[in-house]
Copies of this chain bind each other. A is one copy, B any other.
Amino acid sequence: MTYSTSARTVAKARLPEIRARLFDRNVDPEIKIANLLTRKQQTALRTIGIVLDYKRSSSTVFSEGEDAHFVYCVMRGVVRISRHSDNGRRQVLALMLPGDLFGLPDAGLYVNTAETVSPASLFRVPWQPLHELMLREPELQIRVLTRVAFDLRQAQRRIMILGQQNVSQRLVSFLLDLIEHPDFYDEDRRQLTLPLSRFDLGDYLGTAPETIVRTIAKLEKAGLIRRATPRLINILNVGALRKICEGGRRRRRQ
């Protein structure tokens, strides 16, 4: 969400590129942490924020229900944002990658849980001073607003995927998203490094881990991918993968 004047585009055709893709942080470079602040504000926040290093994966950054005192920014690694429903089941809501902001309080509390998925470095800013700075600096605030709007767009995309696609399509959507990101995809070798276990993947895509496994196996049998190791996937046919996402699980309405 860029809060600029209207673009002169009629753009039913352009829409697909504009809609959020999982990792399209490049749409608006201002979104990135490096640019989250103007130069003068950067130094201000540098003094109140610190860098935290998480050496292990599965470290908890914060848990749902805790008092929210800090906002975090990913500098390195991957953070999993999840929430547990009343019966204890977990849903992975989003993955946070370098440049992403998370941990905004909701009525003073964290409503989600944040855990590292790999070793990670996070920039931690106390919320209170940041909040005051935002009130003084509309420019800063509008960038935070842009970030939240970006997250909303991502969340809406997840709703589309969960609401309309079957498990194969959801998985392939995820793989195609990953391919866009150099951290996970070695374009020369056409090799993808999955940042999530089968369990996490299941909780992210709203299905059982066994179904994830079977779906991967099915893609492999069809010759579209190949498992080097459980976490290393060779991409053999991107075009065919894209086609899978276009099929329909449900019939037309009306």
Contact = CB atoms under 8 A, between A and B. Distances in A.
A58 to B, nearest CB: 11
Interface in A173-227: 199, 202-203, 205-209
A40 interface: no
A10 interface: yes
Nearest to A127: B6
Interface residues of A, number: 85
A210 to B, nearest CB: 10
A99 interface: no
A111 B6 contact: no
A203 to B, nearest CB: 6
B164 A85 contact: yes
Interface stretch (A12-20, A44-52, A116-124, A233-241): A12-20
Contacts of A66: 10
Nearest to A128: B5
A113 to B, nearest CB: 11
A148 to B, nearest CB: 5
Contact of A18 (B111, B139, B142, B250): B111
A91 B157 CA distance: 10
A228 interface: no
A156 B112 contact: yes
Interface string A147-178: 01101110110111011100000000000000
Contact of A89 (B109, B131, B152, B164): B164
Given A65-B14, A162-B159, A108 B246 contact: no
